[in-house]
Each structure stands twice: as structure tokens, then as C-alpha cells.
Amino acid sequence: EATVELTKEGYIVKPEVMIPLVGDVKEVKVLKDQIIKIADEIMKKENLKFNYKVGTMIEIPRACVTADEIATEAEFFSFGTNDLTQMAFGFSRDDFGKFLPDYIEKGVLEKDPFATIDRDGVGQLIKMGVEKGRKARKNLKIGICGEHGGDPSSVEFCHMVGMDYVSCSPYRVPVARLAAAHAAIKSEE
């Protein structure tokens, strides 16, 4: 309905509907069918046609493993790296702060995995999801959302695995842009 309202006001609108926390293509199919039905009803009622995309958040490890199947229904992926990190490590972000300093001091972890993508674990899940998704849908738009999008090391990793974009909180945008430029230049060398 917001798309209709803005279109009638003369704006060019390209909505993307993102389905969160999916792990199976059947979930995506059921929800996508509902989205299409609602959009069709609104377009018919308003006598207006508009294009939109339906995609998913990739936030659970199973979604990375089944990304090729999910990509048959989803037109884009947005990796929710905070939730994916939490589920991959099996601890909550809130509780992790209590023992993170000990983990870093004792060498269990080099960095806070909620601040910088853990390339060996979570990163491999992401890489798998990107590769499998693109194998099934070559033009699949892929990115991340969350605080990792403003971390230079994480932005470099996203570039290395072939993501199209990163998003982050507004105050981290300058860092993200600079990190993306560095990653692009580094990959050209």
C-alpha cells in the first residue's frame, strides 16, 4: 500500500520484500506466494502495476547450506551476520560480552566475532551461501546487514566472496565506504 501511495505521488518505487529467518525453500515458497497474492490484490484494487522483488535474510546456518534451493525462489539474499554468528557459535550476543575478554586473552578467539566476521567458521557458511545461491540464480543480489557492514575486515571479506553490497548503521557508512574502496583496489592488484 505504501508503494501505491508513493507511486501516485509521482515517485519511482522499487520495493524489496525481505523474509526473515528462513531455512528451507518451502518456507520461502509459502511466504512468497502470500506476498504475491497480497500484492496482486492491491494492484488490482488500485488499478496500478508495480514491480517488486522478494528475497530472504540468511540468518541461520541451514539457510547457508540450502542456499541453492532457497535461491530458486528468492531474488536476493541479505546475510544477517549478527544472528548467523550467534547461531553458529551457539551463544547469545548479550551473554558473550561476559566471557569475550577471557576468550581473547587466552587465544580462543582473535577478535570479537560480533564485530568482525569470523572467516573460519561463520565466513565459510557465508561463502557457501553465496556460492550456492549464485549457482542457482546467477543474478542473485547478495549483501549483508548489521554492524559487520561497517567493519573494514568484514567489508573486505564481503568483497572477496562476491557480495554486491553491505549495509550498516549511518555512523559507520564512511568507514564502510572507505573499506569497500580499499577492498576493490586490493583485489585489482
Measured distance CA(66)–CA(185) in Å, rounded: 32
DSSP 144-171: EESGGGG-HHHHHHHHHTT-SEEE--GG
pLDDT (tens digit, 9 = 90+) per residue, 52-101?
999 999 999 999 999 999 999 999 999 999 999 999 999 888 888 889 99
Closest CA to 70 of 7, 21, 123, 1: 21
> By residue range, what is the domain housing residue 137?
17-24+55-188
Any residues with CB less than 8 A from the CB of 93 and at least 6 apart, and which?
A: 82, 85, 86, 114
The pLDDT assigned to 69 comes to 99
Average pLDDT in the 131-154 region? 95
CATH classification at residue 177:
3.20.20.60
With respect to residue 107, please indicate whether it lies within any of the assigned structural domains: yes
With respect to residue 1, please indicate whether it lies within any of the assigned structural domains: no
Categorize the per-residue pLDDT at 163 as very low, low, confident or very high, splitting at 50, 70 and 90.
Answer: very high
